[in-house]
Amino acid sequence: MPNQPIAAAIRGRLLSFLRAPAGPGDLDSVRCIDDGLLLVGADGRIAAVGPWAELRGCVPDGVTVDDHGGKLVLPGFIDTHIHFPQTQVIASYGAQLLDWLDKYTFIEEQKFADPAHAAANAGFFLDELLRNGTTTAVVYGSVHPQSVDALFAEAEARGAGLIAGKVMMDRHAPPALTDTAETGYRDSKDLIARWHGRGRQRYAVTPRFAITSTEAQLEAAGALLREHPGVHMQTHLSENLDEIAEVRRLFPGARDYTDVYDRFGLLGPTSLFGHCIHLSEAELARLSESGSVAVFCPTSNLFIGSGLFDLATLSKPQRPVRTAIATDVGGGTSYSMLRTAAEAYKVLQLQGQNLPALAAFHWMTRGNAEALGMADEIGSLEPGRWADLVVLDPHATPAMRHRMMTVAGDLEEELFIQVTLGDDRSVAATYLRGRNSHLRQQVA
């Protein structure tokens, strides 16, 4: 029973993971309460979770129960790699990575020098995340510190928690998008002082990728990590074959692409490497040994034509690499983690691998929280965690309603239908700290 004042009460079919599923059919990995009640304390954290029949008497007078009927209530989705300045780059036609950056991305990102532009886009960005049920994201800003200020300020105002950082780039980008090793270090250090650990906000040191950072800047990024234990690091690794060739040219003394980052102290348990498609066995072993995280960005990898993420190779038991999953907007083509999981399923199918529904939902919730080292804060419906929630409607579209007629209470099949057919329309509501932050418009 809760031992603190209750500020909110949410009723529905509560679903949360206790651990990673061992495979299809591992329902012991989940806790599902068909008619459950989640109570939220005044601090925005979960106070109690249990059957409606047991907890209904704990709802105080004056607190209205948000009743979601037969809908699923899960921990909010977590996106571990997304670009805030690329909301107007998504769906840009016909280029692979390096050309795509020059033709579209670098042009758009220059606009984020304007604080008003950054603030307006921060509002849209948070709206879009919440509309898709995403309550935590790991975010790239632009090179301009004001872009990250705008993003964190918007998240703070809504009660959301982000991990974000200013991109560091001191070469191979337009002059309006480059800093220096010194200014990149100083601006990042100032942002860490201003935002890291302020409420729910956390900082990620963010060298964009090896091509756009000199050795001096990568050393500065490593210095930031040494000086500020607990901050994250995010960058890109082995996304595209032309990219890898250019890194080899720029860093002839490095053994491989991963070694470029390793030499400057950028590998470790709080380091997130987007893509990780074309890796040698030596690189995989080093990522495993360091506890670094390889982030799967399926819609981006397909859209930009980069290649296929090989989960089976990354997961070999003799040297497993920790993994996470992400949208990578704007190379990625959807803000929806459901659409992202659907494309992940297809990417793996092309390689003779599978993504069971339980594994997909674990990845989007508790799995990504564990990859971020935040499983004690988010990713599960347990007392003490933030009450960040997504409510999924199993009958959100006519096609889903029609397909659900055949399910007859099979949870795994229902979840797989959500992965395969679901999108933002599946999200009936999104909660931050127990407060309803998005409610889907009902369409007759």
pLDDT band at residue 104 using 50, 70 and 90 as cut-offs: confident
Average pLDDT over residues 380-396: 97
Q: Residue 358 has what pLDDT?
A: 98
Q: What is the pLDDT of residues 157-199, one digit of tens each?
A: 999 999 999 999 999 999 999 999 999 999 999 999 999 999 9
CB 75 within 8 A of CB 16: yes
CATH code at 77-335: 3.20.20.140
pLDDT value at 106 more than 60 = yes
Average pLDDT over residues 90-100: 83
pLDDT band at residue 372 using 50, 70 and 90 as cut-offs: very high
Q: What is the pLDDT of residues 277-334, one digit of tens each?
A: 999 999 999 999 999 999 999 999 999 999 999 999 999 999 999 999 999 999 999 9
Q: Residue 444 has what pLDDT?
A: 39
This prediction's pTM: 0.97
pLDDT value at 443 more than 70 = no
Query: Closest Cα to residue 39, out of 79, 76, 78, 12?
Result: 12
pLDDT value at 442 more than 70 = no
3-state DSSP of the chain: CCCCCEEEEEEEEEEEECCCCCCCCCHHHEEEEEEEEEEEECCCEEEEEEEHHHHHHHCCCCCCEEEEEEEEEEECEEEEEEEHHHCCCCCCCCCCHHHHHHHHHHHHHHHHHCHHHHHHHHHHHHHHHHHCCEEEEEEECCCCHHHHHHHHHHHHHHCCEEEEECEECCCCCCHHHCCCHHHHHHHHHHHHHHHCCCCCCEEEEEECCHHHCCHHHHHHHHHHHHHCCCCEEEEEECCCHHHHHHHHHHCCCCCCHHHHHHCCCCCCCCEEEEECCCCCHHHHHHHHHHCCEEEECHHHHHHCCCCCCCHHHHCCCCCCCEEEECCCCCCCCCCCHHHHHHHHHHHHHCCCCCCCHHHHHHHHHHHHHHHCCCCCCCCCCCCCCECCEEEECCCCCHHHHHHHCCCCCCHHHHHHHHHHHCCHHHEEEEEECCEEEEECCCCC
Q: Residue 441 has what pLDDT?
A: 76
Q: What is the pLDDT of residues 180-191, one digit of tens each?
A: 999 999 999 999
Name the segment(s) of the chain with CATH classification 2.30.40.10. Answer: 6-76+380-439
Average pLDDT over residues 420-433: 98
pLDDT value at 236 more than 70 = yes
Q: What is the third-level CATH fold of 6-76+380-439? A: Urease, subunit C; domain 1 (2.30.40)
Q: Residue 228 has what pLDDT?
A: 98
Q: What is the pLDDT of residues 243-285, one digit of tens each?
A: 999 999 999 999 999 999 999 999 999 999 999 999 999 999 9
Mean residue pLDDT across the chain: 96
Q: Residue 93 has what pLDDT?
A: 87
